[in-house]
C-alpha cells in the first residue's frame, strides 16, 4: 500500500503550490488529479492575480477592498494574511518563470479590476492561470524524487482511522479502473469548486464539488455555501467567460437604449464595481425590459472602446472566444453577455493554515472556505487565495507529518468503493440517465438560486434537489468498461454535486437577509444585527444541520457598501 507524509488531492494552483511547499519542507509528497495536472481548471483563469506591488499601493488598502467586497462577511485575519503575503508570492512566481506583463518602463504592469481602489492586478495577457500552472508544474518536475504524481486518478473516499483522523484516500486509476488505497499522514484537499452544480456555468466539466462533498461526508463542516458568484460577463449563448480584464481595460456595459446604466447603480466605480453589484444591475436592466438581443436577455459589452492594438495584445483569448463561440469580432462590435455562475465563495471550513475540523485533513483553494471572500469574491483574488493558502496548508501539513507516525488504515473502504462502482455499472436501464438529472439540477439552480432569490423559489429548488437525490440512486449509465470509464465517474460526481447543491439551497433559505451574492427579494436589506455571521453546514445522519460561527473582525467595522 503506497504511503506518503502529505497526500494532495487536486493539481490545480492550490494543489501544486501545496505540493511544492511540502516538498521544500522535506516531506514525502504525492499529488493526485483526476485529469492531467495542467488540464486542471486553474488553466482557464484569465485576467490576473491581485497584489499591492505598486509603490503607491499598500496591502492594507487591498485588504480593505477585499473586506468591503466580501460585504463584511470575510474573516479579516485571513484577509490580512492573504493581502500582506501577496506581493512576495507574486514576485516569487516571477522569479520561478511566470512571464508577467511589463510596461514600457520595464516594471510589472498592473490592470484595473472590479472593487479595487487602484490598479493591482498582475497578468499574463488573458492566460494568467495557464502561465502560472505550467511554471508550477515545471517546478514540481524538479522535485520528482520527493513528489509522486498520480495523474488521471480519481478519489472516491477519504479514509479515517479509529480515532477519526484522516489517514489517506481510496482512488481509482482512470486509465485502467484499478482501485488503490493510498495511506497518508495528512491529506490536503485542493479539488476546486462546484460550478457544474449550475447550468450554464463558466466552469469546466470537471468542477463537480468532489472535495467539498467528500469532506462533508466524513464530518467536516462547510461554510458560506449560499454565497455563489454570478460573473457579470458570460456569453449568452453558452455561459463562457469574458474576463473582467476587458472592463479593466476600459470596456463598457450598455442596455437596449444605449445607456451606460452602471451610472445608476455604482456612479463611482461604474463597470468596475464588485461583481455582485454589476450582476444585479444587469439582471435588473434585463428584468425591466432593457435587455438586448432577440429575447432581450442580454446586455452589450462594448470592448471597441479599448484600442484595437491593446485588445489584440492583452485580451487575445477573448478575441478568439468572441469569434469562435459568438461569431463576434470584439475589436469591432459589442458582444452580448449576461450574468452567469462562476465561482463559489463557500467550501470546506478551514483555519488560516488550511486545517479543517477533521484532524489530518486540510483544504485550500476554491474547495475551501477560509474565508477570504465572504459574501462576494473580488476578481483576481482567487488565484491569490489558491497560492497563499495552498502554500500555508503544504507547510503546515509537512510540519505535522514530521512529528507523527503513519496512522493505520485498512482496505475495507476500498472494497466498499469497488462494490459501489460495480453496482453503478450494473444498474438496469430503468431509472433516468445521470446526465439528464445533472441537467435538471443545473437549470433548477440557475432558475431559483441565482442573482435574485426568494423563499418560494428556494423551497422549490430544495424539493427538486431532494427528488434528484433520490433519482440519482438508480440513474443508469451506458459504459460498462474499466478503461477511461468517465460515465461511472460522472455518476459518482453527480452525488457530490447534489450534496453541494443541497448545502447551497439550505444555506440560502437560512440566510434571511441580502448580503454579497445572496440577494433575497423578500429580505432586501443587509441585517448585521442578526446575520453578520457565517452559516456552517454539517452532515447529520442523512441531511444537513445548520450552526453559526462568528466573523473574525480585526480592524474594519461594517459600514454601508457603496461603489
Ligand atoms: C474561466 C475562468 C476564469 C477565471 N479567471 C480568474 C482570474 O483571472 N483570476 C482569479 O483570481 N481567479 C480566476 N478564476 C477563478 C480561479 O481560476 C479558480 O477559483 C482557481 O483556479 C481554482 O483553483 P484550485 O486549485 O482551487 O482548483 P482547480 O484548478 O479547479 O483544480 C482542482 C483539481 O482537483 C482535481 N480533482 C477534483 N476532484 C477530484 C477527485 N475526485 N479525484 C482526484 N482529483 C480531483 C482536479 O483534477 C484538479 O486537478 C477564473 C475561473 C474561471 C472559471
Alpha helices in 220-307 (DSSP H): 245-248, 262-265, 275-287
Average pLDDT for 527-545: 96
What sign does the dihedral 253-283-533-348 (CA atoms) show? negative
Q: Is the CB of 322 under 6 A from ligand 1?
A: no
Out of 275, 377, 511, 561, the active site residue is 275
* Span 464-515, pLDDT tens digits: 999 999 999 999 999 999 999 999 999 999 999 999 999 999 999 999 999 9
> Residue 227's closest CA among 15, 372, 338?
372
Q: Is the CB of 493 under 6 A from ligand 1?
A: no
* 135 Cα to the center of ligand 1, angstroms: 16
* 211 Cα to the center of ligand 1, angstroms: 12
Q: Is the CB of 255 under 6 A from ligand 1?
A: no
* 42 Cα to the center of ligand 1, angstroms: 4
By the 8 A CB rule, do 480 and 461 touch?
no
- Spell out the residues 6+ positions from residue 189 whose beta carbon is closer than 8 angstroms to its own: 9, 10, 211, 214, 215, 348, 361, 362, 363, 364, 367, 368
Check pLDDT > 90 for residue 234. Answer: yes
Q: Is the CB of 73 under 6 A from ligand 1?
A: no
By the 8 A CB rule, do 24 and 47 touch?
no
pTM over 0.95: yes
**Distance of alpha carbon 50 from alpha carbon 86, whole angstroms:** 7
SS (H, E, C) 443-492: HHHHHHCCCCECHHHHHHHHHHHHHHHHHHCCCECCCCCCCCCHHHHHHH
316 is catalytic: no
Atom of ligand 1 nearest to the CA of 203: 53
* Span 236-264, pLDDT tens digits: 989 999 999 999 999 999 999 999 999 99
Check pLDDT > 90 for residue 407. Answer: no
Alpha helices in 185-289 (DSSP H): 210-217, 245-248, 262-265, 275-287
Query: Given strand 252-254, what is the order of strands in its sheet?
Result: 228-235, 335-344, 299-302, 252-254
Check pLDDT > 90 for residue 439. Answer: yes
By alpha-carbon position, which residue is closest to atom 3 of ligand 1?
45
Amino acid at each position: 500500500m503506497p504511503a506518503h507524509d502529505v497526500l494532495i488531492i487536486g493539481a490545480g494552483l492550490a494543489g501544486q503550490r501545496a505540493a511544492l511547499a511540502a516538498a521544500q519542507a522535506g516531506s514525502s509528497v504525492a499529488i493526485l488529479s483526476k485529469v492531467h495536472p495542467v488540464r486542471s481548471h486553474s488553466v482557464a483563469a484569465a485576467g490576473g492575480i491581485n497584489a499591492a506591488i505598486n509603490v503607491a499601493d499598500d496591502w492594507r488598502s487591498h485588504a480593505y477592498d477585499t473586506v468591503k467586497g466580501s460585504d463584511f462577511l470575510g474573516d479579516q485575519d485571513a484577509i490580512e494574511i492573504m493581502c500582506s503575503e501577496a506581493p512576495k508570492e507574486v514576485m516569487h512566481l516571477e522569479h520561478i518563470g511566470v512571464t508577467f506583463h511589463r510596461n514600457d518602463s520595464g516594471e510589472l504592469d498592473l490592470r484595473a479590476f472590479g472593487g479595487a481602489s487602484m490598479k493591482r492586478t498582475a497578468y499574463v495577457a488573458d492566460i494568467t492561470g495557464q502561465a502560472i500552472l505550467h511554471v508550477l508544474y515545471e517546478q514540481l518536475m524538479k522535485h520528482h524524487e520527493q513528489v509522486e504524481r498520480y495523474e488521471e486518478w480519481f478519489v472516491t473516499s477519504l479514509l479515517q482511522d479509529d480515532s477519526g483522523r484522516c489517514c489517506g484516500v481510496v482512488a481509482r486509476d482512470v486509465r485502467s479502473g484499478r482501485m488503490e488505497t493510498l495511506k497518508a499522514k495528512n491529506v490536503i484537499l485542493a479539488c476546486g469548486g462546484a460550478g457544474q452544480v449550475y447550468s450554464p456555468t463558466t466552469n469546466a466539466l470537471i468542477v463537480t464539488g468532489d472535495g467539498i462533498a467528500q469532506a462533508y461526508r466524513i464530518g467536516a463542516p462547510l461554510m458560506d455555501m449560499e454565497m455563489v458568484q454570478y460573473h457579470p460577463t458570460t456569453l449568452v449563448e453558452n455561459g463562457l467567460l469574458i474576463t473582467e480584464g476587458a472592463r479593466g481595460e476600459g470596456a463598457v456595459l450598455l442596455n437596449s437604449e444605449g445607456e451606460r446604466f452602471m451610472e445608476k447603480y455604482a456612479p463611482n466605480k461604474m463597470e468596475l464595481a464588485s461583481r455582485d453589484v454589476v450582476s444585479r444591475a444587469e439582471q435588473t436592466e434585463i428584468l425591466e425590459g432593457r435587455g438586448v438581443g432577440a429575447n432581450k436577455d442580454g446586455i452589450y459589452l462594448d470592448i471597441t472602446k479599448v484600442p484595437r492594438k491593446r485588445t489584440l495584445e492583452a485580451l487575445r483569448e477573448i478575441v478568439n472566444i468572441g469569434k469562435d463561440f459568438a461569431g463576434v469580432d470584439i475589436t469591432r462590435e459589442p458582444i452580448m453577455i449576461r450574468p452567469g455562475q462562476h465561482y463559489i465563495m463557500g467550501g470546506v471550513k478551514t483555519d488560516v493554515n488550511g486545517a479543517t475540523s477533521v484532524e489530518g485533513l486540510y483544504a485550500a483553494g476554491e474547495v475551501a472556505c477560509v474565508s477570504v471572500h465572504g459574501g462576494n469574491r473580488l476578481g483576481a483574488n482567487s488565484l491569490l487565495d489558491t497560492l497563499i493558502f495552498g502554500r500555508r496548508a503544504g507547510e503546515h501539513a509537512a510540519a505535522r507529518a514530521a512529528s507523527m507516525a503513519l496512522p493505520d488504515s485498512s482496505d475495507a473502504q476500498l472494497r466498499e468503493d469497488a462494490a459501489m462502482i460495480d453496482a453503478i455499472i450494473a444498474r438496469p436501464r430503468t431509472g433516468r440517465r445521470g446526465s439528464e438529472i445533472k441537467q435538471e439540477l443545473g437549470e433548477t439552480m440557475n432558475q431559483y438560486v441565482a442573482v435574485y432569490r426568494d423563499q418560494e423559489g428556494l423551497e422549490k429548488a430544495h424539493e427538486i434537489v431532494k427528488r434528484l437525490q433520490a433519482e440519482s440512486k438508480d440513474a443508469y449509465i451506458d459504459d460498462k468498461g474499466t478503461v477511461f470509464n468517465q460515465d461511472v465517474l460522472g455518476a459518482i460526481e453527480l452525488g457530490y454535486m447534489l450534496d453541494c447543491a443541497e448545502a447551497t439551497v439550505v444555506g440560502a433559505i437560512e440566510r434571511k437577509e441580502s448580503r454579497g451574492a445572496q440577494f433575497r427579494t423578500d429580505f432586501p436589506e443587509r441585517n448585521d444585527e442578526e446575520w453578520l455571521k457565517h452559516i456552517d453546514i454539517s452532515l447529520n445522519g442523512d441531511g444537513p444541520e445548520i450552526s453559526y460561527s462568528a466573523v473574525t473582525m480585526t480592524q474594519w467595522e461594517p459600514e454601508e457598501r457603496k461603489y
